[in-house]
Amino acid sequence: MSAPRLHCLMVLSSAVEGVSAQSFIQAYTLASSNFSIQLASPHGKNVEYVQQDDNNRRWFNEFRSKASSNPIAFETVDSARYSALLIPSSPGAVHDLASNTELSQIVNHFIREKKPICAIGSGVAALCCVMSPDGKSWGFKTYSMTGPSVFELARTQEFFSLPVIVEDFIKDHGGQYNNSEMDAVHVIIDRHLITGQNAHSTLMAVQNLTLMCAQKFPLSPA
C-alpha cells in the first residue's frame, strides 16, 4: 500500500487570454506524479489553454475527457485541505486573478500557514490579489521574487493595455524583484514562496515545489 499523497491546489485563469498550454502540461504532469491535484478557477469557469500545437492538442483532447479536468470555484475551496498552491504561467491572470477577492483569501491562508506557493511566469500576477482591506499593504512585501520582466512583456501585442505590470507591481508594493535575461530559466525561492520568471522556468519551479513539500511534509512509509 502506497503512502497517502499530499494535495495540491492548481489555480487557473478563466479569462479569454487563458493559460499557457506548455506551462500547464509541464506543471500538471510533474506535479501529478507527486500530488493529488485539484484545479480551481474563478467561479469554476472553463479554462482556455493558449498556444497549443499539434502535439499538445492531442494531450488536451485526452485530458479534457477526464472529470479531474473540470475546475472548481474558488468559493468552494477548503484551503486547509491543501499542502501546496501552484499557479502555472497564465496570460489571463492579470485580468481575472490579480484582483480576485476569493483567491486572496486562499493565498492568505497559505501565507499564514507558511505552506508552499509556486507561481510561474505571467501566473505571478495572481499574487497581486493579496492586498489588505485598505489597499495599502501587500501580503508578499519584503519577499524576493521574479516574474515576467517589462522587456519580456513589451514583446506582446497587449502590453500597453495590461492592467498590471508584474515587475512594477512588485517593486511598488515592497517586494524585491529580480530577473535574468529574456526567456532564461530563472527561479527564486524565498521562505515558502517559489517564483519562476517565465514559462520556460516551469519545470525548475515545480521541481523545487516538490522538494519543498517533501521537506515540510515528510510522509511516513506505509
pLDDT at 2: 56
Which amino acid is it at 18? G
Three-state SS at 214:
helix
Q: Give residue 219's pLDDT.
A: 63
Percent of the chain with pLDDT over 70: 97
* % of the chain beyond a pLDDT of 90: 85
Stretch 138-166: mean pLDDT:
92
CA dist 137 and 171 (Å) reads: 13
Q: Encode pLDDT of 28-76 as tens digits.
A: 999 999 999 999 999 999 999 999 998 899 999 999 998 889 999 999 9
Arithmetic mean of pLDDT, 127-145: 92
| pTM above threshold 0.75 | yes
**Confidence label for 1 from pLDDT (cuts 50, 70 and 90):** very low
**pLDDT of 191 strictly over 70:** yes
Average pLDDT of the residues of the chain: 93
| Residue found under cell 472529470 | 67
pLDDT digits (tens, 9 = 90+) for 193-216: 999 999 999 999 999 999 999 998
The b/e string for 88-127 (b: 16+ C-beta within 10 A; e otherwise) is: bbbbbbbbbbbbbeebbebbebbbeeebbbbbbbbbbbbb
- pLDDT recorded at residue 17: 94
At residue 222, the pLDDT reads 44
